[in-house]
Amino acid sequence: EPEVTQTPSHQVTQMGQEVILRCVPISNHLYFYWYRQILGQKVEFLVSFYNNEISEKSEIFDDQFSVERPDGSNFTLKIRSTKLEDSAMYFCASSEALESDTQYFGPGTRLTVL
């Protein structure tokens, strides 16, 4: 069964460093998403992406964040200058079409900012 994959599973970085989290969505899906879950808190929407552009972003998704689909298979989330409060589990998701709206999630990348 097709699945969303994410790498790395765990990333440790120093405050102020740039990180890139990688995702490979399900191959025939057209809509891509990033969510995050701070330990003990709700899963929060960050951004959605379609047709090579952001379709919606939350207040959390400020100028420190960017997303990219560098090729036909990868979808990345870049955090330019990490802060302690960026420590969280980051989930990538994809969906086939907007109307079906069923989002399939990857296993997540745990980001630890020291």
Partner 1 sequence: GEDVEQSLFLSVREGDSSVINCTYTDSSSTYLYWYKQEPGAGLQLLTYIFSNMDMKQDQRLTVLLNKKDKHLSLRIADTQTGDSAIYFCAETPLSGGYNKLIFGAGTRLAVHP
Residues contributing to the site for partner 1 (CB under 8 A): 6, 31, 33, 35, 41-45, 48, 55-56, 58, 91, 93, 98-99, 101-108
How near is the Cβ of 62 to partner 1 at its closest, in Å? 17
65's CB contacts (< 8 A; 6+ apart) are 46, 47, 77, 78, 79, 80
How near is the Cβ of 16 to partner 1 at its closest, in Å? 28
* 84: helix, strand or coil: helix
Cα–Cα distances in angstroms (integers) from residue 71 to residues 22, 52, 85, in the given order:
12, 10, 30
How near is the Cβ of 12 to partner 1 at its closest, in Å? 16
How near is the Cβ of 34 to partner 1 at its closest, in Å? 11
Q: Which is nearer to partner 1, 1 or 71 (CB)?
A: 1
Q: Which is nearer to partner 1, 29 or 105 (CB)?
A: 105
Nearest Cα neighbor of 49 from 27, 26, 77, 21 is 77
DSSP state of 93: E
Q: Which is nearer to partner 1, 8 or 16 (CB)?
A: 8
